[in-house]
Amino acid sequence: MYEYDYRNNLDYYNYTNNNYNKPMYTKDENPKSLYDPYNGFIRGNMFPNLYNSYKLSKPRDITPNNEKEALLLFVDSIGFAAHDISLYLDIYSDDKDMIDLFNQYRTEANKLMDEYQSKYGPLVINSDATNKIPWSWDDRPWPWEN
């Protein structure tokens, strides 16, 4: 009978994952040491010292095909940056520089989301852009309908 030994897998992950069992954030972080929003977005992490490339040596670039896709990529990137920094602020709530950067990204994300929704329709179901008669959530073609 085959017996699974979990310790073998733990040893494997200890040596292959560069960030295994390391502190997630340190107080040494500062806004100048972070990735820009796009590079943080495609890596899934704004903090270079926490980025683990896993199996990719270089993350795949996202190439928008039109203005709508480019604006959505910008909305996603800035929103991701604000969210990732908010996770840092959960631990270091007194870091003024990071709070300022978070508020800058949050404000920019809200402006970009409003711009996108005014041009292309609502992004989320609880958006003010759905506050129309007739119901506007499904009045645009869905991505798979084009």
> Would you kindly state where each structural domain of the chain is located, as residue ranges?
6-145
The tokens for 70 are: 């480019």
The answer to whether residues 89 and 98 touch, using CB atoms and an 8 Å cutoff, is yes
- Note whether 44 and 37 are within 8 A (CB): no
Cβ(37)–Cβ(77) below 8 Å? yes
Alpha helices in the chain (DSSP H): 6-16, 37-43, 67-91, 96-120
Q: pLDDT tens digit string along 96-135?
A: 999 999 999 999 999 999 999 888 877 776 666 556 656 5
* Mean pLDDT estimate for the chain: 77
**R_g of the chain computed on alpha carbons:** 20
Weakest-pLDDT range from 41-45, 69-73, 139-143: 139-143
Q: Find the mean pLDDT for residues 48-76.
A: 84
Per-residue exposure over 31-45, b if at least 16 CB sit within 10 Å of its own CB, e if not: eeebbebbbbbbbeb
pLDDT per position as a tens digit, 35-55: 999 999 998 889 887 777 666
For residue 77, give the 3-state DSSP assignment.
Answer: helix
Residue 121's pLDDT is what? 78
